[in-house]
Structure 1
Amino acid sequence: MAGTVEGIVIKGSTPPEGPLPAGATATPLDVAGFWFIDITSETRAALGHDGGDRRVSGGFFELSVGVERWARELSADGDVMYVFSEFFGGTGTHDVVAWRNGEVLFGPWLTSTSNDGPPRAWVTRDDMAINKGLRALGVRARYEIDEFAQVGLDRY
């Protein structure tokens, strides 16, 4: 099975205040107090990626400078974590970085279940970056699933 998830996870009792960029919607996740904003091509364009600034933050596959700037701004109201996951046939990557008050809270963590491809820490599925990031934000996996599935990111 193949899949890609890219977005912003927000820890807060309410969704982000103020207008969101075009194409962005804050959706509650399966763990109370967590929200997800899917990064779509429309959102990326609204944040300047299609306006000529196609730079990607160091080491990341997809984290554009505009998305990073916006996530840092959102972190003024709570913990914000950028997530990227790409899997195909059981092998894949997780990339995360999180901010609080505009400063890096943790990361960047770039992990892979394989040692093939771009440089990433080669780890087991339980130690993939998104799982570690969610644990750092207080999510605890239950029912023999990982944190990624616990919050419902597997739906995306």
Structure 2
Amino acid sequence: MSTTPPEGPLPSGAAAVPLDVEGIWFVDLTNETRAALGLDGGDRRVGDGFLRLSVGVERWARELSADGDVMYVYSEFFGGCGTHDVIAWRDGEILFGPWLTSTEDDGPPHVWVDPENMAINHGLRTLGVQATDKVDEFAQVGLDRY
């Protein structure tokens, strides 16, 4: 996610999609998108517990953050249980995270938190998104559609 539309090459079929909060954009990093950008290699970021954040994607996000905040999010849920992995950059430096949270007490590298404080919600708060009485930050920006 980015607070400005990503500039530079996006592969055919990939798009920066505006979300429901003005100024926040979403780029789905599918396997095809990663491959087309040359960011899919086995250069997985290790040591922080991220499952899908490659060194190449991290490098691209840092570069994009020169033009606005960029937040990498990964969410995996099944049957109401799951995880959120988040890291955000501003001007090429880490703004938030890395933070890995879970709805269950699975132990490291994920931290158990209540649903309102899952990593994506907390990261969105760092970017200035505010929840309402009816929905959390995740739904407020429209990520629940993805």
Q: Show the counterpart of 1:155.
A: 145
C-alpha deviation, 1:115, in angstroms: 1.4
Specify whether residues 117 and 44 from structure 1 end up closer, same or farther in structure 2 by C-alpha distance, changes over 3 A only.
Answer: farther
Matched, 1:68 2:58: yes
Partner SS for 2:72: strand
- Which of 40, 45, 68 is matched with 1:57 structurally? 45
Structure 1: unaligned runs, 5 residues or longer: 1-8
Structure 2: unaligned runs, 5 residues or longer: none
Kept in 1, the 8 Å contact 2:10–2:37? The answer is no
- RMSD across aligned positions (CA): 1.5
TM-score under structure 2 length normalisation: 0.91
C-alpha deviation, 1:149, in angstroms: 0.6
How do residues 1-156 of structure 1 correspond to structure 2 at under 5 angstroms? 9-12=1-4, 15-50=5-40, 53-58=41-46, 59-116=49-106, 119-156=109-146
Kept in 2, the 8 Å contact 1:47–1:70? The answer is no
Matches of 1:25 and 1:85 in 2, distance apart? 20
Matches of 1:100 and 1:130 in 2, distance apart? 16
Q: Which has the higher contact order (CA 8 A, sep 6+)?
A: 1
Partner SS for 1:94: strand
Matches of 1:72 and 1:49 in 2, distance apart? 13
C-alpha deviation, 1:118, in angstroms: 5.4
C-alpha deviation, 1:141, in angstroms: 0.9
Alignment identity in percent? 72
The answer to which structure has the higher strand fraction is 1
Matches of 1:47 and 1:91 in 2, distance apart? 31
Task: Name the amino acid aligned to 1:84.
Answer: Y
